[in-house]
Amino acid sequence: MSTMNSDTPNQEPSAATTHSFDNSDTRADEMREQLEAWVEDLANLTDEAQASEQFQQWLDVQSKFHDYSARNTLLIKMQCPEATKVAGYQTWKDEFDRQVQAGEEAIWIWAPIITDKCPECGNSPSYHDRADCEYDETEPEEWSRGLVGFRPTSVFDISQTEGEPLPELETEAYGDSDGLVEALLSASEELGVDARIVDPADWEHGDARGVCKRRSPATVNPVVEVVDRENRADLASTLIHEYTHALLHFGCDDEPERASREVEAEAVAYIVSRHFGLDADNAAFYLAAWDGEASETVRDRLDRISRTASDIIVQIEA
């Protein structure tokens, strides 16, 4: 279970309305098409307010399902944007003693297919027989298991179930800003970042609230410094923002790309802050830096945002 992966310029992205994928014969193709349409719409949307709103709605879902890929959280947003906790039918029944209520429609996401995998072409034995691959050094029963693809699988939100209450999660330690600041500092080593909070009297970076830099040419880890302040939630958000630069953008000297990646860093800070219960409602996302980018580039950015937020959340919770 996870707690919560048109061409008309001013059209709202297609994921703003609820979709269902109830036709088993066309489900996989429809899921792919809707994902591509949403990303393409976001890339083409010229109304800054609409683009920011659609982007923030996806970020809200991602904050609840940090261990899901960007495309799966987009699928959840399309079908059940109010979802908070999802699991498969049997998982709800066997592990949580809850029953999916009659008449509820499934939420469809992509599940990995793990099976024996050809070392050469990466196909399962059944597909390997139909492919042009001539690998025959080892028999299929000796192949290692691995990811060979994805298939649609059904999950249901807790609101679609009834039964025993869920066990309480121990989230209080991070549910306040001071707790999150300390947790972020503790996680810095595992994330490969040298982080410190600097007294305002010693701050040497002007109006910047935080920086990501290299201490010296011989330094391996990027150095994150943030100026101390009374607003601890804002301090935590700045730490996450600079951690994202350290993990994704360290050494980027391309000015246009640097502007685009500021959106990525702010988005990761929003996801992580919201995941741990901090108020990030005042965040605004100015996607003008992404204007003119191909939908494939936007999709890559969504994937990076999703993965980086998940990495930071996992290290904090560890």
287 and 237 assigned to the same domain: yes
158 and 28 assigned to the same domain: yes
Q: Using the structure block, give the residue that is written with the tokens 């290290």.
A: 315
Q: What whole-number distance in Å separates Cα of residue 283 and Cα of residue 175?
A: 18
Q: How many domains does the chain have?
A: 2
Residue 122 lies in a domain: no
**pLDDT of the residue at 3:** 45
pLDDT score of 216 more than 70: no
pLDDT tens-digit series, residues 8-25: 333 444 444 578 888 889
Residue 139 lies in a domain: no
Token pair of 264 as six digits:
């990525």
CA 275 to chain centre: 11
**pLDDT of the residue at 11:** 41
| Strand partners of residue 224 | 195, 212
Token pair of 194 as six digits:
């040298």
pLDDT score of 278 more than 80: yes
Is 162 in contact with 98 (CB distance < 8 Å)?
yes
Domain that holds residue 37: 1-113+150-169
Characterize the bridge pairing of strands 107-116 and 145-157.
antiparallel
Is 93 in contact with 27 (CB distance < 8 Å)?
no
Please give the backbone phi and psi of residue 120, each rounded to the nearest 5 degrees, phi first. Answer: -95, -60
**pLDDT of the residue at 280:** 66
The number of beta carbons lying within 10 Å of the beta carbon of residue 248 is 17
Is 20 in contact with 32 (CB distance < 8 Å)?
no
Task: Using alpha carbons, select from 70, 48, 44 the residue that is nearest to residue 285.
Answer: 48
Residue 64 lies in a domain: yes
Whole-model pTM: value is 0.80
Mean of all residue pLDDT scores within the chain: 84
Residue 132 lies in a domain: no
164 and 240 assigned to the same domain: no
Token pair of 317 as six digits:
């919770």
pLDDT band for position 121 (50/70/90)?
confident
195 and 299 assigned to the same domain: yes
Total count of residues recorded for the chain: 318
**pLDDT of the residue at 174:** 54
Residue 38 lies in a domain: yes
**pLDDT of the residue at 13:** 43
210 and 293 assigned to the same domain: yes
185 and 162 assigned to the same domain: no
Is 109 in contact with 5 (CB distance < 8 Å)?
yes
158 and 218 assigned to the same domain: no
